[in-house]
Structure 1
Amino acid sequence: MIQRIRSGSLDGIDGFEVVVEVDAGRGLPSFQLVGLPSTAVRESRERVLSALRNCGLAWPKGRVVVNLTPADVEKRGPSVDLAIAVGVCGVTERAEPGARGDAVLLGELSLDGALRPVRGLLAIVTAAAATGRRLFVVPLGQAREAALVPGVTILAASTLADVVRWRAGRGCLETIVPASPPPCRREPSPSLLAFLAHVPARARRLAVLAAAGRHDLLLVGPPGSGKTQLSRVVGTLQPSLTAPEALEVARIHGAAGLLSSPELDLRRPFRSPHHTATRAGLLGGGVSLRPGEVTLAHHGILFLDELSEFSPGVLDALREPLEEGRIAVVRGAGIRFWPADFQLLAAMNPCRCGWHGSRRRECRCSERLRLAHRSRLSGPLLDRIDLFAELDEPEEPLRSDGIGDPGRIWELAVADAAAGHARLTSRSRGRPTSLEEARRALDAPAAALLETAGASLGMTVRSSMRCAGVARTLAALGGRSRANRDDVVEALSFRREQLAVLA
């Protein structure tokens, strides 16, 4: 009698259902595994054999064939170990699973029969639940992670023997109740509080503006001007993730093996890759098909420090995700589209030595070196960035513009960013997709000013759209339904055409 056990496997960041078919027949003792198994799956024979023996379960006599369907998709990882072992037990005992045969079994086996965690469990459970599966048996250590998926029943097991007894109706498994996500507390470090209290008011407004509208931002300034600190302020000011967003982020990070807690984390991701990152490291792919930094920063922030030190080819590859909110990963077997809706925060020095325009030190770079430094950033990439700002070195001693308590300053900044974000979300979703749509957010004088300024500054259509989006956020921060001339003037002041160091 053929045993059919439901399981699952991981493909990049997406899971898919796998049906494990096990058949035992007459012939010389052998074990054959078919259905495009990877090396890790082919090695399951030894794990299953040892686990069965150490749990006191019998291995069938004769020829054993295991088929993994769908047969045209490669199965990666040991997530099907448990299903194979239970199927082998079923053909040995000729057991009828009954209603429990619809359960999806997931888990890697150790040699003593204990269940071990599998990478990407949340993605696999999510994919199976989307096809109507509702009952899952998973390793005890990952049960709370799997329970994050709404509408499913999660049973936790410690050993193969526990699952075999449960499936035969001779035992029970613990049902896991999903936990509520903990409250998201955005409490900055003392250093960030002190920094925010001492920076100029324009820098504070820039941070609130970028956080409220999730605008891409490039900061230029000499070492010690606060570029990195201001970027971290923007990240901490971000509104919390919604539950569906947090679940999607957890699914992606779980597939990458980076999920640190079984609870939903409502904080937005903050990814900061080194400037030596490769194209595959930033965009994803590679031999093992792993998500890159742009996907790991989905619904969060991608912070690129020392932007001009990144490879120009790597930077230009960011144009697609910045525009589309997703990345296309091309492999020999096909093309995959992974989410990459991130907010880009970048920082760079004005020149190679870092001191061009500094009041404290003299720049050692020639004009040719400064030009070469700026030319590493292509025009199309800069065209996709909303906000540009040049930070000056702080005065000594630092001053707080007459505003006192740092905690109070922080509370006001958080409230402003949250209110602006809420108003934007209630009116529209995402950035304007056309210049006409962008102009609808402006009143008539503001639209006329933007058109005139765009012509005089040589702005592209995309630049004008980005500028209109910033003006819309400024209007939301001011409690206005449409942007006026003052909003457009302020938005234009943050454009790269006004930034001398990139001119």
Structure 2
Amino acid sequence: MVARVGTVAFLGIEVIEVDVQAQLAAGLPAFTVVGLPDKAVGESRERVKAAFAALGLALPPQRITVNLAPADQLKEGSHFDLPIAIALLAAMGVLPAEEITEFVALGELALDGRISAVAGVLPAAVHALGRDKGFICPAAQGGEAAWAGGLDVLAAGDLLSLVNHFKGSQLLTAPTPTLAPSEERTLDLRDVKGQESAKRALEVAAAGGHNLLMLGPPGAGKSLLAARLPGLLPPLEPAEALEVSMIHSVAGALAAGGLLRIRPYRAPHHSASIAALTGGGLRARPGEVSLAHRGVLFLDELPEFSRQALESLRQPLEAGRVTVARANAHITYPARVQLVAAMNPCRCGYLGDAAQACNRAPRCAQDYQARISGPLFDRIDLHVEVAAVSPADLSLPPPAEDSAVIAARVAAARRVQRERYARLGEAADLPRSNAEADGRLLEEVAAPDSEGRRLLTEAAAQLRLSARGYHRVLRVARTLADLESSPTVRRLHIAEAMAYRRLQPGR
């Protein structure tokens, strides 16, 4: 007899259907798992044996073969424990074999029979819904699976309760969707004194989803400003929350098995490798640029990152996705992030301060800023200088506007952009903010008036802007117009947008 139950393997956030087949046959006692399992899957034999012993069951003295089909797809991870155990229980007659074929299962077994949390529950549940099957998962992640909607979810805390449910002696209640716990973000722009131009740039960046670079001496408040950007951004929309949560689920970083509700904020250390930033490693896990999808990726001390790591961000910043290429697979992760970077003007950090600057200026600044390549620099929409805060500014009372007031203006501008691009059609790849608009769309929605076009043409020629730089000025100008509820991009908006591109690396 062959018993079957469904499970999944993962290729990035893509789900691959796996059929777990268990057979008991005559012959010398043996327990074999075939179907290209990795070491974690091979070790599931011992965990399954121990879990059965905790139930008071023993494997029959027969030849046991478990096949994970398709056999040419590598099976990785401990989530195969539960489907292997369920298939074996059905083959032994403990569970109804016909009934379990209508389920997709995943979970790791502890030695005492408990079912532990695993990565990838949310995309697996969405897959099960698409196949019109039920879903079996760890109890701790039932709320995560319930977000698939319209799905029969059995969230079991241990193997015994799952067996009793199918026997009819215990009822597993349907879980309810849960939200991931979020820290109360009490960081407010009222805490930042002075820096009015930097605050304005931060508001513009939030309103249009633009990349931002802050350059200034140590202690000027660059990290302080960046940490307050999430408080200006609108919450994730339902479709965005599901998309972001699926990435975090595959990475095993979805806290408490709940859906994310606030935009991610990732701030890796400057020692991060290429694999840490863009994804990779043994199982090609998502990197920081994907974990920050639909949120903020903050790179402090930008020139201190390795040149190769920074260059690896060029394609994701432009395309909104990153492809991790390996010999046996090409895995694509979403990577639509808002990059915020901070850097000192030179190695010592005090360029322009006669009392503290080193004696190598300006060569020191040129060498330090030249660590950022021109192509990467060109992908950053807003460049703003953050000057040192004077003691007089520190003694002033807090500013009148707090983050809530600015966030309301940002939300209004985002709403205008969302409605504008929604009118263009129903395509899934339509932009959701001005930062995502391509050149063709910008010619339609951000065409400046005659004076604004003349200024843009003259300034672009004088500053030798690339085609990418030209379009990024238009994007920022469109956002500035949206903040003022202006239907037309005017000369004033072009002038302010051009002012944010005055910095150049090494000059």
TM-score range, shorter chain: over 0.9
**Correspondence for 1:285:** 280
**Correspondence for 1:276:** 271
**Alpha-carbon distance between aligned partners in 2 of 1:240 and 1:342, rounded to the nearest angstrom:** 15
Q: Percent identity?
A: 39
**Correspondence for 1:117:** 117
Q: Which moved more, 1:300-309 or 1:82-91?
A: 82-91
**Alpha-carbon distance between aligned partners in 2 of 1:243 and 1:383, rounded to the nearest angstrom:** 32
Residue from 472, 494, 497 that aligns with 2:500: 494
**Correspondence for 2:424:** none
**Alpha-carbon distance between aligned partners in 1 of 2:47 and 2:244, rounded to the nearest angstrom:** 32
**Correspondence for 2:405:** 412
1:386 positional shift? 0.3
- Which consecutive residues of structure 2, in runs of 5 or more, have no partner in the other structure? 422-430
Q: Is the 8 A contact 2:350 2:356 kept in 1?
A: yes
**Alpha-carbon distance between aligned partners in 1 of 2:228 and 2:283, rounded to the nearest angstrom:** 35
Q: Is the 8 A contact 2:284 2:331 kept in 1?
A: no
Q: Which moved more, 1:443-452 or 1:350-359?
A: 443-452
Q: Is the 8 A contact 2:296 2:339 kept in 1?
A: yes
Q: Which amino acid aligns with 1:369?
A: C
**Alpha-carbon distance between aligned partners in 1 of 2:440 and 2:238, rounded to the nearest angstrom:** 32
Confirm or deny that 1:189 pairs with 2:187: yes
- CA gap of 1:469–1:10, structure 2 versus 1, over 3 A, is same
Q: Is the 8 A contact 1:78 1:118 kept in 2?
A: yes
Q: Is the 8 A contact 2:103 2:136 kept in 1?
A: yes
Q: Which amino acid aligns with 1:151?
A: G
1:352 positional shift? 0.9
TM-score scaled by length of structure 1: 0.92
**Correspondence for 2:21:** 21
Q: Is the 8 A contact 1:100 1:167 kept in 2?
A: no
Q: Which runs of 4+ in 1 moved over 6 A?
A: none
**Correspondence for 2:177:** 178
1:502 positional shift? 4.7
Confirm or deny that 1:251 pairs with 2:246: yes
Residue from 444, 449, 454 that aligns with 1:448: 454
Q: Which amino acid aligns with 1:450?
A: L
Superposition pairs of residues 149-160 of structure 1, within 5 angstroms? 149-160=148-159
1:432 positional shift? 2.9
Tell me, what secondary structure is at the counterpart of 1:174? coil
**Alpha-carbon distance between aligned partners in 2 of 1:215 and 1:318, rounded to the nearest angstrom:** 15
**Correspondence for 1:53:** 53
Deviation by residue 1:229-287 (Cα, 9 ceiling, x = unmatched): 11122222111111221122222122222222333332111111111111111111111
**Correspondence for 2:418:** 425
**Correspondence for 1:477:** 483
**Correspondence for 2:426:** none
**Correspondence for 2:427:** none
**Alpha-carbon distance between aligned partners in 2 of 1:372 and 1:201, rounded to the nearest angstrom:** 29
Tell me, what secondary structure is at the counterpart of 2:10? strand
Confirm or deny that 1:232 pairs with 2:227: yes
**Alpha-carbon distance between aligned partners in 2 of 1:436 and 1:89, rounded to the nearest angstrom:** 58
Q: Is the 8 A contact 1:156 1:173 kept in 2?
A: yes
Q: Which amino acid aligns with 2:383?
A: F
Q: Which moved more, 1:275-284 or 1:59-68?
A: 59-68
**Alpha-carbon distance between aligned partners in 1 of 2:198 and 2:318, rounded to the nearest angstrom:** 26
**Alpha-carbon distance between aligned partners in 1 of 2:488 and 2:43, rounded to the nearest angstrom:** 63
Q: Which moved more, 1:225-234 or 1:382-391?
A: 225-234
Q: Which moved more, 1:473-482 or 1:89-98?
A: 89-98
Provide the aligned C-alpha RMSD in A: 2.3
TM-score scaled by length of structure 2: 0.91
Q: Which moved more, 1:21-30 or 1:136-145?
A: 136-145
Q: Which amino acid aligns with 1:499?
A: L
Tell me, what secondary structure is at the counterpart of 2:347? coil
**Alpha-carbon distance between aligned partners in 1 of 2:209 and 2:307, rounded to the nearest angstrom:** 24
**Alpha-carbon distance between aligned partners in 2 of 1:175 and 1:54, rounded to the nearest angstrom:** 25
**Correspondence for 2:202:** 207
1:60 positional shift? 2.4
Aligned residues between the structures: 494
Q: Which amino acid aligns with 1:69?
A: A
Q: Which moved more, 1:6-15 or 1:456-465?
A: 6-15
- CA gap of 1:185–1:3, structure 2 versus 1, over 3 A, is closer
Q: Which moved more, 1:70-79 or 1:477-486?
A: 70-79
1:13 positional shift? 3.8
**Correspondence for 2:380:** 385
Q: Is the 8 A contact 1:208 1:413 kept in 2?
A: yes
Q: Which moved more, 1:342-351 or 1:223-232?
A: 223-232
**Alpha-carbon distance between aligned partners in 2 of 1:4 and 1:500, rounded to the nearest angstrom:** 62
Q: Is the 8 A contact 2:80 2:108 kept in 1?
A: yes
**Alpha-carbon distance between aligned partners in 2 of 1:283 and 1:44, rounded to the nearest angstrom:** 31
- Which consecutive residues of structure 1, in runs of 5 or more, have no partner in the other structure? none
1:399 positional shift? 5.8
**Alpha-carbon distance between aligned partners in 2 of 1:95 and 1:439, rounded to the nearest angstrom:** 62
Tell me, what secondary structure is at the counterpart of 2:48? helix
**Alpha-carbon distance between aligned partners in 2 of 1:263 and 1:297, rounded to the nearest angstrom:** 17
Q: Which amino acid aligns with 2:187?
A: S
**Alpha-carbon distance between aligned partners in 1 of 2:103 and 2:227, rounded to the nearest angstrom:** 45
- CA gap of 1:261–1:89, structure 2 versus 1, over 3 A, is closer
- CA gap of 1:219–1:439, structure 2 versus 1, over 3 A, is farther
1:486 positional shift? 0.4
